[in-house]
Structure 1
């Protein structure tokens, strides 16, 4: 098993780098140092910067997550999943020579692989944040510009709601979707959409001052068509079930021990089946609080900082299988003086099962013994993650990872042993 795991890790790195090299031929002529430049393919002999000066910024990246289950769960084994993104951002002010003309963003996403959670662990909180929707799709086609002043901006188009709402950048230091980068109560209990599934919508953002930002949006809820591979590039708008409206306040603390806090609420107008009932709920709501706060910083070396994060979220009691989500953790940035861009991350999270879902599971049991077993399960799933992010070059990150799941069968009503998994995340920017 360890031999196959090592082989898969090697395969994941080699396949990812080979995909990254599929770039314009001018990239091969880039004379800058491979280990020090910001992207794998460099400046393409100066052509990349020329395009940026004209207003066209091209981006691309690869990530893979290879997870091996060592103990508990369903069975032992290893699974690999990957994601490739390519995008273009058009600065219309430069292209049209018109002040404050805004930006157009296009992003295409491709995901492939297999799920360690579904095949090996049997838990609810996906061990691989980049697994899901295994096909190529249009993830964003949007237009953004300021309104009236630089403090007010609007964005409209076909895009991912969770890109700008309900997340914290610090949580991208984790591999499991339980942490990275939104509380899963949102998508579990409403029409909230997270990357890479896009919906039609519009956003409005107001930077009140340096410490406070208010933002809201309205997005179409279309769970059936937006996730169909056959409509990956059609930007579907038909058969909508309703609309979702998030409201979010962002508080920024710019002190030496800086931090960011987010408080949010959302309303989904969709009619949804009530758990354990033939009736429908006329709407779904939820709320969340997110925190990222520096609790220690080296005065002689400000890049060496210890950050504390926390999440608390709740969703609709009548319709959401995941009733609440809590997490807390630490991220140490620049853990060693010789490794300025590395990080060590530790997190603990708990997803609480809706009691109505447990009642349905017990009622569906085919024997008294099975019913009693389900009744004795914990009312939620817990997880612990510890990893080390090694920034090998400015464009390459390797993140060895350890995950432990307590009561991995709580959401499926099955008795499963606590699961211990190890893995490796690879991120490359090209």
Structure 2
């Protein structure tokens, strides 16, 4: 086997638990509340946690692991484990400085370890584990946020992933595959757009026009190489900057009984990027997306029991992006049983469309006419089905058994591979 699952799990748990040493000594001795009912694993630290919050300091931490086995198809059978540990601190400057509307400072450090089931076992493009990749400790966010002139206008400046505040739906964190959770992959595949945990320098502006409409925009550094290097994990570097990316997003909110949220966005990247299959460069990259989260049924006697539908449609620059389009639809049933108020059942279908220019390049590079014919016969994209059950065991512990079926897993790599069936478990714990 590629690695010892028990040894890796023990090492990973130790690395996660070692971060808890950063919290006060009273953490492990806290008996003021019940382990099964407290909101976090480590509780209130004998009252010290709440005292810090009252003074303006909020400390956070969480652990997320995803273990998947390939049961059929793909490259080979096997099991892979990946994990993420995140610690953070929020500083409410209004409380700390005794000054009204002084703003909020956010610091987040992320650590990822493990191996990718997509890379090692299936050979597909849409990552089976959303937390796989970039296996090192890094500074993910160091930002400052405050209102400007009125509560309706806010700004955020600093080093952070642009996707923290743009182009995502919170509902999609109910899924494990990165194709769904929680941004269309056309964004990061075809531009300088970055999602968590990769940070870049930037600034955001958000204006709440009304309870039903919010407009936001930003300018972020594009740095495709240096910010993914482990040697630059805490440098917040500007080296390697190729341009700037500017998103525009409108957020429509429906607060009716069957509520919903709808996002329409567009982005422009000023980077000069080589065109697919050409020596020429495009002087910009653009993309657009539409995201929908809509309640379609709600129990009148139990409003927490709700069925939500979502949809994503996204496109990216045809000249430079290997993934030209992404489409997905799905359902999330919240509170599936009266006795399980915080559980969920989620099902989704997605399709990532491979750029035909990239396919032409693959065919031209084939080593034989037979291989070229095989590549030409591949589907024009990869398809994905995901079904899972999110069990909120305690307020701080979530277990999510997950099943994924990948159709045409070799479509993006010019390889003929059988459709793959993978099964796994996601574990989320809040410190």
Counterpart in the other structure of 2:319: 318
* Cα deviation 1:194-252 (Å, max 9, x = unaligned): 11000000000000010000000000001111111101001001231000000000000
Q: How does 1:181-196 map to 2 (within 5 A)?
A: 181-196=182-197
Secondary structure, aligned partner of 2:172: helix
The whole-number CA distance in structure 2 between the counterparts of 1:220 and 1:159 is 10
Between the aligned partners of 2:122 and 2:315, the Cα distance in structure 1 is 25
TM-score (norm 2): 0.97
- Does the 8 Å CA contact 1:20/1:62 hold for their aligned counterparts? no
Corresponding residue for 1:50? 51
Counterpart of 2:179 in structure 1 is: 178
How far off its partner does 1:19 sit?
5.2
Contact 1:8 1:66 in 2 (8 A): no
Go from structure 1 to structure 2 and tell me whether the alpha carbon gap of 1:15 and 1:78 turns closer, same or farther (over 3 Å shift).
farther
Taking the aligned partners of 1:88 and 1:11, their CA distance within structure 2 comes to 27
Look up the match of 1:24.
Answer: 24
Is the partner of 1:226 in helix, strand or coil? helix
CA gap of 1:17–1:141, structure 2 versus 1, over 3 A, is closer
Structure 2 CA distance for aligned equivalents of residues 357 and 54 of structure 1: 55
C-alpha separation in 2, matches of 1:117 and 1:266? 28
Q: In structure 2, list runs of 5 or more residues that go unmatched.
A: none
Root-mean-square deviation over aligned CA pairs = 1.6
Give 1:68's aligned residue: 69
Q: What is residue 264 of structure 1 aligned with on the other side?
A: 265
- State how far apart, in whole Å, the 2-side matches of 1:49 and 1:262 are: 35
Contact 1:9 1:66 in 2 (8 A): no
Task: Answer yes or no: is the 8 Å Cα contact 1:12–1:80 preserved in 2.
Answer: no
Task: Spell out, residue by residue over 1:353-378, the C-alpha distance to the aligned partner (whole angstroms, 9 max, x if none).
Answer: 00000000000011111010000000
The answer to whether the 8 Å contact 1:211/1:251 transfers is yes
Aligned counterparts, 1:125-274, within 5 A: 125-274=126-275
Runs of 4+ in 1 over 2 A off after TM superposition: 7-24
User: What 5-or-longer segments of structure 1 have no aligned partner?
Assistant: none
Rounded to whole Å, the distance in 1 between the matches of 2:228 and 2:12 is 28
Give the Cα separation in 1 of the matches to 2:288 and 2:133: 24
Q: Is the 8 A contact 2:397 2:427 kept in 1?
A: yes
Instruction: Return closer, same or farther for 1:409/1:172 CA change in 2, 3 Å cut-off.
Output: same
Matched residue SS, 1:25: coil
Inter-partner Cα distance in structure 2 for 1:429 and 1:191? 31
Cα offset for 1:316?
0.1
For 1:331 and 1:20, the matched residues in 2 are separated by: 33
Counterpart Cα distance in 1 of 2:304 and 2:186: 33
Contact 1:139 1:159 in 2 (8 A): yes
Cα 1:16–1:384 shift into 2, 3 Å: farther
Deviation of 1:14 after TM superposition, in Å, equals 5.8
Aligned to 1:397: 398
Matches within 5 A, 1:260-299: 260-299=261-300
Residue 120 (structure 2) pairs with residue 103 (structure 1): no
In 2, distance between residues paired with 1:178 and 1:72?
A: 19
Check conservation: 1:16, 1:62, Cα contact below 8 A: no
Aligned to 1:356, the other structure's residue is in SS state helix
Q: How many positions carry a matched residue from both structures?
A: 427
In structure 2, what is the Cα distance between the partners aligned to 1:415 and 1:170?
Answer: 34
Q: Contact conserved, 1:20 with 1:61, CA < 8 A, in 2? A: no
C-alpha contact (below 8 Å) 2:12/2:83 kept by paired residues: no
* Deviations, residues 265-311 of structure 1 (Å, cap 9, x unaligned): 00000000000000000000000000000000000000000000000
Offset at residue 11 of structure 1 (A): 5.8
Equivalent residue number for residue 384 of structure 1: 385
Number of the residue aligned with 2:83: 82
Task: Please give the alpha-carbon distance, in whole angstroms, between the structure 1 residues aligned to 2:363 and 2:9.
Answer: 44
